[in-house]
Chain A
Amino acid sequence: MEFTKSEAKQWARKNYKGLCGTLSPSFTPDLKELDEEGIRHDVRHNINKGMFSVFCQTEICALTIEERKRYIEIACEEAKGKTLISMFTGIDTIEQDIELLRHFEKIGGTHTLLGWPGMFYAKSEEDIYQATKKICDATNLAIDLWPKPKFDFGRFHPSQFNPKLIERITDIPNVVSVKAYLGDGIGKWAEIHHRLGDKILFQAAEPSEWPITVGQYKQQWAGPADYVIFDQSSDNPRILRMFNLFLEGDFLEAMDLYWELYPITIGARDTAFQSGMLGMKYMQWLTGGNGGMFRQPTIPIFQHQKDAMRAGVKAAGITPPENEEEFYVGRLNYAKGMRLKY
């Protein structure tokens, strides 16, 4: 690691600048094996569109732990020397999460977005704190805290994650940032901001919130999120330009881009989320990503959702690919001649 635990917060302040994109696994068309080339393509897709970091989504479809390890390995190899690599923590159990983090640290990962696994039922806020500390202590990676309502801690605090507890967790040396959304409650966001001050980085990943969180509060980075879906070309991506303009204070110029991208930010992206992360993979494919189907269990994408996503990217000036079949087998596999059966 390039930094010690006590240097982690400083390291993040120096290195987290701009946007962190996302990566999801690609498979061979029979869904039996990871599609290494497809994964590498998507890492490069993120790098080409200016992401300072790429986040490996580890939890979004069925993978064995060995496959999860291999998947993050491929991403680390491809990103080496070009961009930072992050991954999601919080799958089935804390022990498994720690095993994956240790592997990630060994192969060149630098930071992780920290959630809590499905098999963690907190009995108290102290329990949450101790479990979190146990994970943080087990790794030298920088930790980005993700106090999202989905982790089911609402029984302890009406905000779904007590801002006081967030403040306490951020005292752990390698916790370097907090990812939160205005959309989870403006009061919650404001209290976290008030409590953290300049102690560590705080950010909202949603582009729709940036006029406030970047324009007004000057967050220096955002993500992870699917920022590759906003542009067709890697030449001077609009999403990155918009982020930088908000940060530099060119508010109205940033707002011009904001409205230009709005058919994706709101229309297409809302629809994509109805199909979960597979919907997002479809959007990535529409804008140059590899695509490819996930294994079960996954939410399928329905025709009306595809129509809405296509309409959104077109309205934002992008020409999406037409051949649906390419999405199913993955762009690279399709180019090699692979087709769906039957």
Chain B
Amino acid sequence: MTLEFTKSEAKNWTKLHLKGLETVIFPSFSPDLEKLDEEGIRYDVNHIIANGFTSILVSPESCGMTFEERKKLVEIVCDEARGKVHTSVAVMQDTVEQDIEMLKHTEKVGGTFATLGHPIQYYPRSIEDIYRMYKYMCDSTNLGIVLYTGRLHTRKYHPSYFPPELLPRIADIPNVVAMKICGGSSMAITVMSFRLCGDRILVNDPMPDRWFITVPDYGQQWSGAGPFYGMQTPEKPRMVNIFNLLTKGEIDKAMNIYWELAPLTEGGPGLEAAYFHSGIVTAHTDKYAHWCNGGNGGSIRQPTGRLYDYQKERIRAGLRAIGLTPREPEEEFYVGRINYAKGARLKAYV
């Protein structure tokens, strides 16, 4: 596949084309968890498009998969989304070499962007080390790079967990086009990022309550990736509407919808705060909420933790409180909606 922009055009192209909300897609598996469920994944891509999102971020690091399976997941999503929405991939797996291989693969199969973090097997020796390694990865690809500093947590260089002096330097790398703030981090990190590199790249805070400041006052034109499908349906795309109204300056109308959704966030931040300080993607929770609102669902492999009844009940109660009707039966979630329709069921041991 050929990208629509060269490295020197990347920033301008992105400014023109990356708008609206990006959401995340997780893998679906066959009910025995042994193979990817290609149909289930394609179903989710189309459900995401029907919701009005403009970009899909593949999350290949969210549960146990071989590298080949991760690549296949990216390929399926890129294939299904081609010509309809942007595709991106979260690149922060085991090693720098593996991440570079994933960047090259994504480019080959038609992805546009990569949200590039730092692999788990990386411990910087200096601030310069962070810059050089990041540039090395960026230079290996023509994809548009979304800088993601959220999971490196190098507090030893700066209390904000990432050396601020690197933000403008990294933003100057030609194919670095945007930056994603880690959900659940401090508002100060968001403001600092806009001030240090908001004039060069598209900074994005994915947390909806921040949009009321970041969109009108800092010019944020896209947001994500976030599991926004957990809060809306194609029939009632409220998250998409809030964001689009804000970009048009219709703040009061956006605010009205925001308050309709308030029952979902009552009780304060829960998962998102834990995420910033744990680095574990809440794929199970997000997949469940998406399934409640029409997504494929499907359990995922270990290690990812588990999803308990009380958590599911909280999700379902929240959705009911904002006027949605979560799907049933539970068993459909476990095997995935498409597999369930084909007659697949959980095994019975009684």
Q: Please give the residue numbers on chain A whose beta carbons come within 8 Å of chain B beta carbons, in ascending order.
A: 29-32, 59-64, 91-96, 117-121, 123-124, 126-127, 130-131, 134, 150-152, 154-155, 274, 276, 293-300, 302-304, 324-325, 328, 340-342
Contacts and interface: CB of A to CB of B under 8 A. Distances in A.
B65 A62 contact: yes
A303 B122 contact: no
A152 B133 CA distance: 42
Interface stretch (B89-97, B189-197, B317-325): B89-97
Interface in B143-186: 151, 153-156
A92 B302 contact: yes
A59 B306 contact: no
Contact of B64 (A29, A297, A304): A297
Q: Which of A59, A61, A152, A294 has the most chain B CB within a 10 Å cutoff?
A: A152
Interface of B: 31-33, 61-66, 92-98, 119-125, 129, 132-133, 136, 151, 153-156, 277-281, 299-304, 306-310, 330-331, 334, 346-350
A325 B126 CA distance: 13
B278 A299 contact: yes
A152 B309 contact: yes
A127 B303 contact: no
A303 B156 contact: yes
A95 B346 CA distance: 12
Q: Which of A117, A294, A295 has the most chain B CB within a 10 Å cutoff?
A: A295
B309 A302 contact: no
A118 B301 contact: yes
B95 A63 contact: no
Nearest to B59: A297
Nearest to A341: B96
Contacts of A126: 350
B121 A92 contact: no
A133 B125 CA distance: 52
A121 B331 contact: yes
Given A60-B303, A92-B33, A297-B303, 14 more contacts: A30-B94, A31-B95, A92-B302, A117-B302, A152-B309, A295-B94, A297-B63, A297-B64, A297-B304, A299-B279, A303-B154, A328-B121, A340-B121, A340-B125
Nearest to A122: B349
Given A119-B32, A342-B133, A294 B306 contact: no
B94 A93 contact: no
B32 A95 contact: yes
Contacts of A123: 350
Contact of B330 (A63, A121, A274, A302): A121
B349 A293 contact: no
Given A31-B121, A155-B309, A299-B279, A118 B299 contact: yes
B276 to A, nearest CB: 10
A150 B306 contact: yes
Given A31-B94, A61-B303, A274-B278, A303 B346 contact: no
